[in-house]
């Protein structure tokens, strides 16, 4: 390669002399910028700031909502725990009462069995007395 082929073509800046690029992205601290470009850049940064603020605010609102939901769930579970404890106490109390009634219920069952036997005996006695009465009437007629 020759020296001429390696040479990069420079353009002249109005204040500084030759530069490598003339794009609008180059920034020279003391150069005045296009006011329209500055206004658009400020507007872009302002809108970007608003967007990011909105995103962060919505995320914060989501976390607050989750926190509130967790608090409500904690309260509900606490209420359910108290209810379960009360139901357990009531069930134990009812079970104790039932256990104290078991002997009495067994006595009632025995009395019922005795009544059934007495009833059967009463029917037999009634039937026997009717047969006797019939025999007595037959004997009286003779």
> pTM of the prediction?
0.46
d(CA 140, CA 142): 5
Check pLDDT > 60 for residue 22.
no
Task: Write out pLDDT tens, residues 43-82.
Answer: 999 999 999 999 999 999 999 999 999 999 999 999 999 9
Of the CA atoms within 13 Å of residue 26, those in its CB half-sphere come to: 9
Spatial contact of 15 and 28, defined as CB atoms under 8 Å apart:
yes
Spatial contact of 8 and 20, defined as CB atoms under 8 Å apart:
yes
What does the pLDDT read at residue 56? Answer: 92
Higher-confidence residue: 31 or 65? 65
**Spans of all domains in the chain:** 31-136
What does the pLDDT read at residue 5? Answer: 45
Spatial contact of 34 and 42, defined as CB atoms under 8 Å apart:
no
């Amino acid at each position: 390669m020759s020296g001429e082929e390696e040479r990069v073509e420079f353009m002249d800046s109005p204040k500084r002399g030759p530069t490598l690029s003339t794009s609008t992205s180059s920034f020279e601290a003391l150069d005045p910028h296009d006011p329209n470009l500055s206004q658009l850049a400020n507007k872009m940064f302002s809108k970007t700031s608003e967007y990011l603020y909105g995103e962060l605010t919505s995320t914060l609102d989501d976390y607050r909502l989750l926190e509130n939901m967790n608090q409500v769930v904690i309260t509900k579970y606490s209420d359910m725990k108290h209810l379960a404890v009360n139901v357990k106490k009531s069930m134990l109390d009812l079970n104790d009462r039932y256990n104290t009634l078991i002997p009495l219920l067994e006595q009632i069952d025995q009395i019922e069995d005795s009544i059934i036997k007495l009833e059967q005996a009463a029917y037999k006695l009634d039937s026997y007395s009717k047969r006797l009465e019939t025999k007595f009437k037959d004997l009286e007629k003779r």
